[in-house]
Amino acid sequence: LPLHENPAEFFVHRLKEGDKQKKMGVNQEQEQQKTMNPPSRPEWASSARDFVIVWLNGVRHEVKVSPGTTTLRFLRLMGLTGSKLGCGEGGCGACTIVVLTKEDNAIQVSSVNACLTPMCSLDGCGLLTVEGLVGTSREPHAVQQRLADFFGSQCGFCTPGIVMALYAIIQNGQRPGTKSFDGNLCRCTGYRPILDAAQSMMAKTTTTLSSTTSLGEDIEDLHRSCTATKVRAYPTIPKDEVILPESVASRRFDALAIFAAEEGNAWYRPTTMRELLELKATHPQAKIVSGNTEIGIETKFKHRRYPVLVSLAALPELRRISFHETTFLVVGGAATLTSLLAYCEEKKKTTGASILAVAQMLEWFASTQIRNVATLAGNVATASPISDMNPLLVSLGATLELRSLRGGPRVVDVRDFFTAYRTVDLRPDEIIAKIHIPLKAQRLAFVSPFKQAKRREDDISIVTSGMFVELQPSSSTTKKNTNGHSDDNSDDNTGSSSKKEEWLVRDCGIAFGGVAPTTIAAKKTMAHLLGKVWSLETVEAAATTLRKETALEANVPGGMAEYRQTLCLSFLRKFFVQVSLDLATRRTKDEPAAPPIDARDASAADTFLNCDKPDTSGSQRWPKFTHLPLEPNLEPNSSPSRKNKKKNTTSSRRAPVGEPVPHRSALVQVTGEAVYADDVLPKSTDDVSHAALVLTTVAKGTVRHVDATDALQMKGVLGFYSAKDVKGSNKIGAVVHDEEIFVTGRVTAAGQPLALVVATSQEVALEAARLVKVDYADLHEQAVMTIDDAIRADSFMGAYHELSCGKSFDDAVAGEDVVIVEDTVYVGAQEHFYLECNSTVCFPLEEGGMRVVSSTQNPSKTQTFVASALGVPAAKVSCSAKRLGGGFGGKETRSVFLAAAVAVAADALKRPIKLTVDRDVDMAITGTRHPFKGVYKVAANRDDGRIVAADVWLYANGGYSLDLSQAVMDRALFHVENAYKIANLTVRGRICKTATASNTAFRGFGGPQGMFVCESFMSHVADALGLPEHQVRRRNLYAVGEKTHYGQTLEKQINLPGLWEACVEGCDFEARRGEVDRYNAAHKWRKRGLAIVPVKFGIAFTAKLLNQGGALVHCYTDGSVLVSHGGVEMGQGLHTKVQQCVAQAFGIDLAKVHVEETATDKVANSSPSAASMSTDLYAMAALDACRQILERLEPLRRRRRREEEEEEDESK
């Protein structure tokens, strides 16, 4: 897709494709699987165990589970909700747990993704969850306490997974760093406090993750609260003595046969190779399972069913890794990637070039959690066209040893194994028993892996490659090689002794992933190189062949055709530089010189695969300039008594406000006790039903008929609910009611809710929802998908807004000596990716009331629309939000219609109902940051670069409904000049109506898009004038007292030039700029940059009526205080800051203040927690409540002070 378009279109496409496949019968095999009889059982299965034995948090459990049950599902049904469902595909790490296994009489500690790991695969293992780390005295584990102490938890949803990943790192004696967390995402912290905490747990080194510099003392070191001082002060955390009883560990090699009659599937764990091969012969479609990292995704997101799953865990011979003489590395089909990486790391300095290359690629292959369970054989068998390892195996000439009952092993070259997209030369009854990787141990053999992805850690590749070349001096071409054959590959073999000695390509292998439906060998390029002189000229000529060999159509799946092809050429050039530099160190003094590499070219040899990633570092410093603080008076209403008088210092006056107080929920977050919406009623025994959405699958059309017959006939389905079940209003919308809770007629985007299916479990509800048949009409209508489509079709919504100041563009530039620049820029969409997907639980109450627990930033809006849907007064509905696992604006409005839909079903069934949407559904239906198009014409003075005039058009892709797009566009209009005074400015904005998910609030709320357009034309102006960008920016900054184009005067506290100069001085900008220039002059291919960019951002809701907050403060006779307020805690520390303000106001200890969950029956009519205003609103509301209470208490306090003074006088 074009980068500026909405990524949700991918999900629209996937929904449409799935619907199309059903109509075309492509899923016929799956339908047959659903109706097939349970698989026949092998003879040995009758005596095999049919239950799973695990050691869970120190307790032995014998459980019967379905082969399809994931460990995460099992844990949560047990009530262990610390492990979270973030993405469901092993990408975020929120579900990370630790698995204990016994290998060679030693206990192995491995972090794994519980969302993918089948519970059956953990038979005979120990399981440790975040709850299990807490001691019997309920004291947090040292890892948990340390993360809390270092402020490593904000929203807390990812925290349990990070705790378990850290625990595994410590138990394995690894060094923590960003690479250690390659399987864990955090959306809030920016990782710095997590990395600081991790560093403090290990033996201290001379470097720390956060350090002071000569430019000033770290702001956090002044409080002794974080960074270098704190890291050094904390003791190292020792390893635990982990226990895995032999009664559990020994069962890992038992035969296992588990059947699920209702699901019609089975799980087998054979104990001999013959049993395994007999299973494959009897059940050719059986799937081999090791890490379940591919099958788990296929079953969850592609809804595939596999009647027979086979585990290789009890076959040690398939987990072996060894050398075959001195020629091959032999990798067993069940050997994990972690074990292979460890083996290669140990051997890479003493064996062939292949081992180092394999280690380099595996280090950045997927994540630690995936590598701990996944296998190389499994990766090869899945035949992903963007596999990291397959191109390397192809380039090395690796082979596969395939086994079946038919006879001896069949050997297949990896380069011939991939026959079509996701199709391999593996017969139904065969398994991959071993992989043979040539070592390439020759002195003049060179091997390099290449990978380009959008980030290093745990990301799918754009293009991958493996390259191998063996060189020989031209003088040896007529000599016999080790096999006794003539090795004359030269073009000109005259035998002349005067011929210049050169290096020739004796053998080579080049392969790519990401440029074809399969991994491909660049055979023509290889043929071009073979026997040629190893030189830049040869490689450049080969690049011409490679360009043709990897040519891609402009509309190739995945897009970026030119970029991907360029990467292939870049990898070849980098390989030439790498080999030539390496050759210069390997050659003997009697051999030819290596091809010369200019010093400016040498950096081309560096990739993130062969270079260490530097540790993260950073510092914060107190400003060196004075400013006027804008802060409220936090003093209590009266002075302290004589008995408690203290020196009036800043810290005593304001404490605990401004102090580095840990997040009030930190300890419950690190221990897994923190409750989120999906953690409400999690157990299998809880009285709660589960809902799943039925969504539209076309971008434009009309719903003709909805048939839920098949869904309602499924066992466990309790009901089907659509618009006809809405007692009140089906209309909904953030500002304008232009949406429906359930679509009734016109479909304006794929992913709109049509109905809700309710069942006894989430799995049943989801499967039933997929069985609902929807018949559409009017599918011939062309859907408007992009901003440019909308402009052509005149498809707009909302109001046209225009802001201007000064003269028109033409009048302003008339007679002026200016340069004029014009261009069009696009700002792409951005997914919110809050770690916690939208979740709602609705509890029906008497007299038609409803209690709603929702992961929403907007409880009051949720209350309003639930009441509207039920046709009851708002007073009968309450909505509460304990905490959110992130929001970022995405839960301000798009969570509301989900709560309304669930409430309709809960009211009809008269029982609690929970809806937690999966990640793919959440991303498909909730919208993103608004994509923008900016068209600008800007004039600047030729002499000094000052902007004379600007004329700007802004277009926003609003999606299918208005939502908050009008306010987003307004804020973009307010920020289109960013921090610069443009005396003559006209900016206009239109909102495009498209057939995509309705886009919504996102941090910055239109401001970043407007500023992006501004900074684009500032860079354009600088380029046109030939001036440094930072000079143009500095010359155009607002001065104190100047007025913006929307009429606001910048007060004296807003001193942008002063801020700029302080930043330039504080960061030593000019010196660092000089370093960058010198580096760039010395390096041809690798460049560095340094920029300084101002930001002026308006805080508050643009709708002024929303800038209000409420708080309810209760004082109890024991001196404790309970606070309720209208703001929602989502990681920003709002409750903690309110707690600090209340404690300071009353002059009591922080521990005496408790902030209750946000609820509409405590504080009514609250504004959404958004616009960077929550702390200002709700802390001040609480402070106002405290002052009122203090005022009422003042007579009592005066009397008490008099009594104290009298007692003090009498004692004298």
Residues 883-915 pLDDT 10s = 999 999 999 999 999 999 999 999 999 999 999
Which pLDDT score is estimated for 84?
A: 98
Distance between CA 706 and CA 756 in Å, rounded?
Answer: 12
Q: Which tokens go with 1080?
A: 């760039």
Q: What is the pLDDT of residues 507-525, one digit of tens each?
A: 999 999 999 999 999 999 9
Distance between CA 1178 and CA 1170 in Å, rounded?
Answer: 12
Sign of CA dihedral 603, 604, 609, 613: positive
Q: What is the pLDDT of residues 833-845, one digit of tens each?
A: 999 999 999 999 9
Q: What is the mean pLDDT of the chain?
A: 90
* Preceding omega of 656 cis (within 30 degrees of 0): yes
Distance between CA 896 and CA 925 in Å, rounded?
Answer: 12
Which pLDDT score is estimated for 625?
A: 43
- DSSP secondary structure code for residue 1001 in this structure: -
Closest by CA to 275, choosing from 43, 548, 615, is 43
Which pLDDT score is estimated for 225?
A: 45
For residue 487, pLDDT beyond 60: no
Instruction: Grade residue 477 by pLDDT with cuts at 50, 70 and 90.
Output: low
For residue 604, pLDDT beyond 50: yes
DSSP 1042-1056: -B-TTSPBPPTT--H
DSSP 3-state of 645 = coil
Q: What is the pLDDT of residues 193-202, one digit of tens each?
A: 998 899 899 8
Q: Residue for token digits 């016999």?
A: 480
Counting every residue written for the chain, the total comes to: 1212
Alpha helices in 821-964, H assignment, sequence order: 859-870, 896-909, 919-925
DSSP bridge pairs for 223:
none
Beta strands 701-707 and 746-747, pairing class = antiparallel
Q: Residue for token digits 């102006």?
A: 1021
DSSP 1068-1107: THHHHHHHHHHHHHH-SS--------------S-SSGGG-
Instruction: Quote the radius of gyration of the chain (alpha carbons, Å).
Output: 33
Which pLDDT score is estimated for 619?
A: 67
Instruction: Grade residue 654 by pLDDT with cuts at 50, 70 and 90.
Output: low
Please state, for a pLDDT cut of 90, what percent of the chain lies above it: 79
Tell me which H or E stretch contains 615: none
Instruction: Grade residue 6 by pLDDT with cuts at 50, 70 and 90.
Output: very low
For residue 751, pLDDT beyond 60: yes
Contacts of 516 (CB under 8 A, 6+ apart): 385, 550
Q: What is the pLDDT of residues 605-646, one digit of tens each?
A: 999 999 988 776 666 665 544 444 434 444 444 443 434 444
What CA–CA distances, in Å, run from 368 to 166, 169, 171, 343, 771?
Answer: 12, 10, 14, 15, 37
